[in-house]
Structure 1
């Protein structure tokens, strides 16, 4: 059998299905392959040039790891050029240029109007989905359906048929294993050779005039007539709104070192939910990069893999949620953030008109007005809404109960006076662990009957939440002075943190709990960038009276930096370390350890302006990590010109010595055990041992 290609009867030429001789002047590849002309069409460039010579447009493709038509892992054919099949040409010079750039490229043919044919692609990638057998089950013989067909490298079959308007790549009406390549599609060209030597073997003659029409039984069902303004056939069913916060939370549960099948389905789900936008790609790429197994993540294939995804029936964001569920994720309940009807109004007067919400004060009235009062002087005042925020494990849930314990006892904390009052500590995240912290504080600081751990709160977000109703009733009855909610995420499950209305619900609940005089402190996370505001919509930070950012430094000191404070300065030093109390013996006879906050107090460092020379020496020590031998520090200073600009090293060394004497004398630097060091600025509080 001798297949050939032609777009017109006049230009028809024969092409052997095995190894056809071509003249050197048509396929002289000496510029690429050396002085000997190509003896046959056994190369991909030779096949591309031969096909283009006969009027068909071609373009270069490559084989990469991707998905088959059902979304399963497979080797897929992906275009090399930026615009894919739209770049196809029959210009020999351009084709040669492509193969100079990509010598191993596979020639591909656009289907549809560009080349005048469409293709039935019968796959045999999966033993359970045999496209050839599926076509036979519909009553068609693949070997006689067309005068021209190609056996693919995987053993499938490409059957070439006349293209007609309306034939696209839609194939959902056909059995599994049968794909359609029409307008907007492409196939690997006959004669192409895969890297492992498998060939796309042609059978018959490709003559457009002799190709049969597309069988009516294989055409997609015609659409009913629609109003010309009805675009539902283009847009499809309305997609479900995607909660990207929930998607991110679900993705965090999935192991990036999962199977390739799961990895592909996660990517396809994100692609489908986002229409393949850049943000979703970065989310998938960042998650994939978390794989710890060597070679599991390859950034070089990510972009190509993402581009290979297309909408697949049955793959959407629900696929990702299903996978996450297998890793223990559960969807949080979502509520209407507008619905605050369950938050009770403050009591109104029994008789008479309601008082105006407006107040008009003269300067004298302002002077005579009572002070705001305090719970922790300079930090928390009655009616405040505050937030202690930081990264997981930073120490938020150690500092908060420590502050609460000080209020319950009426004792000073971090140099600030506390007004004694009842404290509610709502432990929504880890009640068992918080019991241990309270127990440790009791062992270290004695009894404090006015701090009460509140357990059982799991949802303050839902409309008419039983947890909120019960908590409001307890606050109204017992009138605590201070309420902690730890953490915001666990107490308000399903919260859309970046949505203004949803975060408004959090603020409304906190203000509602504060209406009887309590200060309400939310324990929350910071942003990934460890910024100066709590995570989520800026509405929360804007509504806060106090914001305290907790962060651990390299020395193990945990510092609280006030980023907002309506009750005093933001320059206050709040620093502590983790102390441990023993909590008895467990069932294995091991000692139970209970963590607590151990305050550090400021060391008296003389406040003075340092001379440029002395300051430069201090900066050099900081550059050495804050600790160094005298020689290392001296060399760092003497080798430069920041401490002294003298050309004489001896003079620079003398300047260094004068700077050291000053820094040690002023307590900016300490010396001990042969090392100079910059003190961390804090000493352990002598009241806590």
Structure 2
């Protein structure tokens, strides 16, 4: 049997010492990181099922759960996978797969389920008195010479967990009559749906083994206490107790959180019973929606009993006129079934599509042999390539079919116009588009934009190949053949789409739910999905939401930056900067991947072209127009030259006056700016404190020439790694 000693508390640095072991970095213990993997495999070898969880790391913004939710209620202790502890396994290959995916990067904890086992969890974090309660219980109930004598962990928050086996034939949990507490701040965890962390996992600090011993059988006195009515109080339907959390915290519980039970449901029901006192339908709907989020929802019988009890209790208080509303259980159940049927139907298409896609992918994977796959790689066939948004001067395109892609940028940069071009191309090729509109554009505005982009709108409308949706409920009315046959699904814009669902735009769950609701039902059938969104704010409260939007992109994510905003009768030019690419051909990130050229045509039409290289004629016209506009006065001319110098520094990092002059010529202003004017403008920027000489980049000029001073911007560097900011 493998040994857990690699995570014994004596092996690591002392907690609170402020130091790090040689094998530790900002993400917690790293190499040799196999200690956590070894602990998980050792438990699996003993028949204990384990599953992957998030971990607390420090990516430059302080300790943060890898779920990136700033309001995470269970940092480092909630599951990484959709089905949570239900995916727990003893299969070594699966455990190693999880390790390769997350653990090798220091971003993985493991949870261990408690089927046939029990844990006495003594909580001392934040001044809790679990140790005193436990000592009192031992003194009162245990034999005089009793000691735990069993495997014991130190938790990440300083608590103690004693691990026991249950009597033969018991799985644990409510089925065997166990409650979930022994006393104040002493929890009793047991059963296949309960879990604790594997040693080596990290929350506030690392879980360690403090007593390495065989797992002893649960003492009779602890079992009796755990099965006593007081221990079970608040766990049944009729015993409604407090969760110890605010309603907001209960509403945001993770789907796999062990706190999701009748006690939490009663608290939620009480909240909605007051909010919708005269609207029983809405009350039921919101209670059911909260319960549906759970990976192990409360059963229908218990759900009806709890919610009916809470509803009657609230109604019994009476209204101002003394009226009281009552309803029988049968009527209550029928109403609940009717209200939830539509919700189930709206989710069914997405669930079926995911299931079918999984089968298709499995079949595809099974067909291609390893030899065929290797030969395809040798032949240069990487498989998945961007094909949507074809480039005028290169093979391929910008966006991936069958995946969610995105464009974000400031208002007025041409996002919607570029999106309309892609929609028009799809329609003219005979494809069907589904457009989700949350940016308050009317039907006429949407069709007019498609017409200006060159689409044959009349024919497409006649054939039913343009579908505009404005709410999740409208998906129910979309024919199945449209869902499966759509070529392009678009969303304008992501942030208001999250708000339309009543979710927090800064919370990762909002992004995930919006994309799963509006985009995934179509992309799983092969449609290219493209959302547009606006540049967000730089405050940290919004950071998790914007990072999650970036992470949710399965294809390509571009930031659009306008060189010249297109207008009526005026040309425009923008850059698409690649911020993320999940394709196999690793394109260089944070570089201009394509140019978007907007050409004004008669009758207010606009021709949009995507290209790797910018159109020189358009660029020259725009540069000339910009020069004339910006240099009407001597003061304006110098300000514009200073701006061009700053652009050169932003692109090159550090430049001399001569190098800045060359850059300006190559940028399309050849013959308009002299090197002397550049030097004068540079001197002004130095005086203003905008740039300064970079000694490390300066040095000898041409052979025999004088030393060359190179200048760099004085703007402060960001405090953490770059992430594209998306938001409202």
TM-score relative to the length of structure 1? 0.35
Q: Flag the structure with larger Rg.
A: 1
Higher helix share: 2
